[in-house]
Chain A
């Protein structure tokens, strides 16, 4: 009755763990020490990678929401939840690693900078998404409203970013031009660039692995729910 775990998923698990170890090794031993900021700059590789994966998760939720409203297929709902949950975890990693970096560089754990505020609001939007789902009992309606809110929520994120972008930011932009007001900017050497790209790839693999697991979990819990219904009848 229960699906067996596919072999390729197990392989992906092992692969992701190995890659993560390799990336950690690369961050610590391959990438050179940044001249001004020193060792704390190394958090940057995983910071950006986690943010990237978080955005991918939310984007996935958006597409799943649209697909659900189009097809009314429950599997898209499961994909949407998976995207939101994984995205939230990685955004949180992004925020926490950012804090660790900001403590010595900006001399504060937290400041109401545009980037930071946007990230917080994004977490709030998706926390609200999860609470909305909690409040609805019927699976069909839950899926429908979840899809609608995932769409609306994702649209609001760039607008929020734009709204505070009009104020100036102190968050450094490493890739593609920097704001002169940014504090703690630096330019990457080739070895740093390789490490950075590698961590991006590793986190992407990790995200695919986790989302896959979450989708399987969602399918399983759907099955459990159906069985419970059958028992009650």
Chain B
């Protein structure tokens, strides 16, 4: 399980610079944006790792991963888009808090449940 965690963190470390390059035109040192990136990639990685571990063992692995992943990460993506645009445009916290809360809830719920079921995916 620890190796899985390290793997997840490694993926996050790869994902973060990619985000940084993609958001090159913006002020990267916005702490709110960094928070959103961190929370967003944590949630995405925890679900993505779990589903990827499942799909590599199936016959139609190339198509199956996006099909499985997309409906699950929709709330995360919606919250990330909303929260990061909010931080970049300097919304007041009262407008932002709902989206940031959703991000945190998503991360907690899915990291926890992914940890709980991951053993069943990798067992042989």
Q: In the complex the two chains form, what is the Cα distance from A131 to B65 in whole Å?
A: 11
Closest Cβ of chain A to B23, distance in Å, is 22
Q: Among A135, A151, A162, which residue has its beta carbon within 8 angstroms of that of B102?
A: A162
Q: Are A132 and B64 in contact (CB under 8 A)?
A: yes
A152 engages B72 (CB within 8 Å): yes
User: Hey, which chain B residues are within 8 Å of A137, CB to CB?
Assistant: 59
Q: How many A-B residue pairs have CB under 8 A?
A: 88
- Does B44 reach chain A (CB closer than 8 Å)? no
Contact A128 B57 (CB under 8 A): no
Q: How far is the CA of A148 from the CA of B72 in the complex (A)?
A: 13
| Chain B 48-68 near chain A by CB (<8 Å), digits 1 or 0 | 001100110111110010011
Instruction: List residues of chain A with CB within 8 A of the CB of B75.
Output: 156, 159-160, 162-163
A156 to B123, alpha carbons, bound, how many Å?
24
The B contact surface, by secondary structure, is helix
In this complex, the interface size class of chain A, counting residues with CB under 8 Å from chain B, is 20 to 34
Say whether B71 contacts A125, CB under 8 Å. Answer: yes
Cα distance A213–B89 when bound, in Å?
Answer: 56
Question: Which segment, of A41-49, A73-81, A139-147, faces chain B?
Answer: A139-147
Residues on the B chain within 8 Å of A69, using CB: 117, 120
